[in-house]
Amino acid sequence: MTGIRRTVRMVLMVGAAVLAIAAAAVAIRVGLDIYYHRAYPLGYQSLIDEACANKQLDRALVYAVVRTESSFDPSAQSSVGARGLMQLMPDAYDWVRMRRGESHEGVDYNDLFDPAVCVDYGTDMLRLLLEEFGSVRNALCAYHAGWGSVKQWLENPQYAPDGQQIQEIPFADTQAYVEKVERTMEIYRSLYPEEFN
């Protein structure tokens, strides 16, 4: 009888341990899920989704750029003067305005702190760069390092052996930026499969 009691007690203890481990695993998974959804939000969703629909942009790309550039802070300003959700520089803003055929009268770079303005011009910039350079990787290089840099890199076989796609990014900070945005795109697709697939 004592042996049976020990066996039953042992089975109950093992079962309790298995249940405790399973509960801990579920709690960790739920905690991680909450953390990642807070760290990678769908901020300004109506603005971003509408701009992406109108400009035929990959939503994961735009969310990844906004998260990487400003962490969804519309008042973000870099040390070099980039502003707003998509961290546009005044010259990039001017370039997009010129490509849109807008005059420079009444231009106020503080408008870039308005999420609607910044998303509108930032997504236009991404669309123009994608059309110009043909790939997300090339467009991200241009978004970070500038249009002229990417033109030069595409002409250099050391960086773009086929002249079409940048394989080797010569600026370490641009390389890190492109990798971060690409990784963030994948995280968004993984976290929100119903939104991005």
Catalytically annotated residue among 50, 69, 102, 182: 69
Helices (H) and strands (E) in the chain, counts: 9, 0
Cβ(149)–Cβ(190) below 8 Å: no
The pair of three-digit structure tokens given for residue 54, joined into one six-digit string: 């109108």
Contacts of 19 (CB under 8 A, 6+ apart): none
Q: CA torsion, points 160, 161, 163, 164, in degrees to nearest 10?
A: -70
Q: Token pair of 139, please?
A: 């467009």
User: What is the rounded CA–CA span in Å between residue 142 and residue 197?
Assistant: 26
Residues 6+ apart with CB under 8 A from 197: 189
Residue 69 annotated among the catalytic residues of the structure: yes
Enzyme catalytic residues: 69
